[in-house]
Structure 1
Amino acid sequence: MKFKYLLTLFLMSGCFVMAQTKPILIENVRLLDLKAARLTAPMHVLVSGSTIQKISATAITVDKDAVKINGGGKTLMPGLIDVHVHMTFGTFTMAQLMGEDLTEEFLVRKIGESAQQMLLRGFTSVRDAGGPIFPLKTAIDAGKLVGPRIWPSGAVVSQTAGHGDFRAPNERSRRFFGKPSRAEQVGATFIADGRDDVLTAVRENLRFGASQIKLMAGGGTSSAYDPIDVTQYTLDEMKAAVEAASDWGTY
């Protein structure tokens, strides 16, 4: 069957939240049979919590409080996972993110709108590869906002003048002048030089709840100061980051 005829049914918004407390019966949907490499005839699927309880070609009887969804013969598929996304950097320009009037409330609200759109595109889980994301994850986990499950990296860890050094030209290093850059204040980056600074930055992200660490080890197109082809961080600095993450049981 040509791709354009494959229609997809996703569980979104209220139904996505209710799945935690009420059974969901999805009726009249086709499933991909991987062994036969074809779509099935219309089936019925019962979901309880995060578990698929039953798949049947015949009607499934459920309690009256169950949520029923008629799939209309469309294809039911698992949620997609985006393993490299920057939900904050994809919502705001760097100039907007560095603005002095940016508040956490506004940041969460705007990224929350993007998160809901991502869920509606079928992505039920994302690995956020750097940026101020913890407040949004907290809001989604608490059911205050609708969005995908987030595995956060937190602030990217970058050397001075590296791929994660988002300072304005007039911002000087806090190491010499004592004031964190705006990017560090909003949780977009940790500028860390030397083994000790890298250890601290990684451990700080882990303390905030990072499920993995984003270390900027080379140049990139979105940073103003570094050539794209340069190597960043010494081997000893990178080892420090790996050791700290490994000690925490992650990467």
Structure 2
Amino acid sequence: MRLDRSIRTITNTRILDPETETLSEPTTIRISHDRIVGIGGEAPADRDAVLDAEGGIACPGLIDGHVHVLADTADLGRLGETPPSYITATAINSMQDALRRGFTSMRDAGGADFGLARASEEGLITTPRLFYGGKALSQTGGHADMRAPGTAVMDHHQCCPHLGVVCDGASEVRRAARNQLRTGAHHIKLMLSGGVASPTDRVDSTQFSDDEILAAVEEAEAANRYALGHAYTARAINRGLRLGVRSIEHGNLLDQESVRLLREHDAFLVPTLVTYERLHVDGAANGLQAESQKKVEDVLHAGLEALRLADEGGVNIVYGSDLLGDMRSWQSHEFAIRARVQSPGAVLRSATTTAARLLQAEGELGTISEGAHADLLLLDSNPLEDVSTLSEPDSSIRHIISRGGLLAV
């Protein structure tokens, strides 16, 4: 996989604006290095540097706001026993697969580190832009504590590919947050409730004390970053929002108070509905442990209703997939699921402009405008009419431009 950087101009293309839900008249997009430097005007004389879109639609590159690029299995406890070199190789493959689906940026919600992000940024590997938080923070017995009930030893080494680190008490949480921020992390991930893939916690539990959550939030804000919180129940969601967590991951069991707090704090909700559908069908084949398989039912059917409540309540909603192992091939199917309760424009904004705001990259990602990063897709059909077409990227995406280069496989 490589990027062809000879293309400097895209002609005869209609630009899709997710915010206004409009298409422009056929126009020209001019690119220099990694930026869009102009829209409109005449095509250059050098035709070798021109890509004729033939009337196709230019859509901003897609953003997945919740991935785990290291998670090549649903048996997350096994990751720490896998050589980091092997996990890195599988991560690169999964990121390249995501780029082929049109995802030009991704936010890792636990596990990815500065090495992968740096290699991607420097062009050593051809992948989406990677926003990482390092290891997620978990209390003992929390969602990132992958020890079985009979296991006592916890490996705290930074080098090992666990998705999280266990820390207890405000001082330990503060130190753990600072350690991730020290590496250049874009955000801090907190486990605010139980989850599906962890072996010993209940989905309906709350995790971390108020002081512990505040410690992480304060450290993230001090570094001009933010905290995101894994949370399912309204109790866990609402508590995290009141304490300053900026984005809620999953949120399947939210309530009207959650919607109010999300609006009040201008916070973000990142549903991940496709992962529950696939865990229900393919979880066992991908290593999901028996105790975790039982917990899938707790959240499987509630997510769509939570999405509907949040959408009707005007919440900032971001696209997320959260798929593990071979199930990551279903990444684009989230578009079809959300289309059941959201308008095409709302779904598209969740994967472009709204996601860019969450990533603190507004005006640089999720938009086709002068000065923005040159990340865009050329489509044959209009996703504002049927956004579910993006669920089939092989047939809906004609070309992918990432970091100013045309993707060539």
TM-score (norm 1): 0.79
Are 1:32 and 2:16 an aligned pair?
yes
- How far has the Cα of 1:136 moved from its partner? 1.9
Are 1:194 and 2:174 an aligned pair?
no
Are 1:118 and 2:98 an aligned pair?
yes
Percent of matched pairs sharing the same residue: 35
Are 1:248 and 2:228 an aligned pair?
no
Alignment check: 8 A CA contact 2:77 2:147 kept: no
- In the alignment, the residues of structure 1 paired with residue 206 and residue 163 of structure 2 have an alpha-carbon distance, to the nearest angstrom, of 21
2:179 corresponds to: 204
SS state at 1:53 partner: strand
Name structure 2 gaps, 5 residues minimum. Answer: 227-409
Q: Deviations over 1:38-59 (max 9, x none)?
A: 5344322111133322323x64
Higher relative contact order (CA 8 A, sep 6+): 2
Which of the numbers 65, 70, 74 marks the counterpart of 2:52? 70
2:26 corresponds to: 42
- How far has the Cα of 1:217 moved from its partner? 0.9
2:373 corresponds to: none
- In the alignment, the residues of structure 2 paired with residue 115 and residue 234 of structure 1 have an alpha-carbon distance, to the nearest angstrom, of 35
**In the TM superposition, what are the counterparts of 1:1-251 in structure 2 within 5 Å?**
13-15=2-4, 18=5, 24-32=8-16, 38-56=22-40, 59-61=42-44, 67-89=49-71, 91-94=72-75, 97-98=78-79, 100=81, 102-174=82-154, 180=155, 185-251=160-226
Q: Tell me the amino acid that sits aligned with residue 44 of structure 2.
A: T
Q: Tell me the amino acid that sits aligned with residue 180 of structure 2.
A: N
Aligned pair in 2 of structure 1 residues 34, 215: CA closer, same or farther (>3 Å)?
Answer: closer
Higher helix fraction: Structure 1 or Structure 2? 2
- In the alignment, the residues of structure 2 paired with residue 217 and residue 54 of structure 1 have an alpha-carbon distance, to the nearest angstrom, of 44
Taking only aligned residues, the RMSD between alpha carbons, in angstroms, comes to: 2.8
Equivalent pairs, count: 226
Q: Tell me the amino acid that sits aligned with residue 120 of structure 1.
A: R
Q: Deviations over 1:210-244 (max 9, x none)?
A: 11000101111111111101111111111111112
Alignment check: 8 A CA contact 1:23 1:48 kept: no
Q: Deviations over 1:46-91 (max 9, x none)?
A: 11133322323x6411558x733222322111111222222222x3
- In the alignment, the residues of structure 2 paired with residue 145 and residue 133 of structure 1 have an alpha-carbon distance, to the nearest angstrom, of 15
SS state at 1:221 partner: coil
- How far has the Cα of 1:143 moved from its partner? 0.9
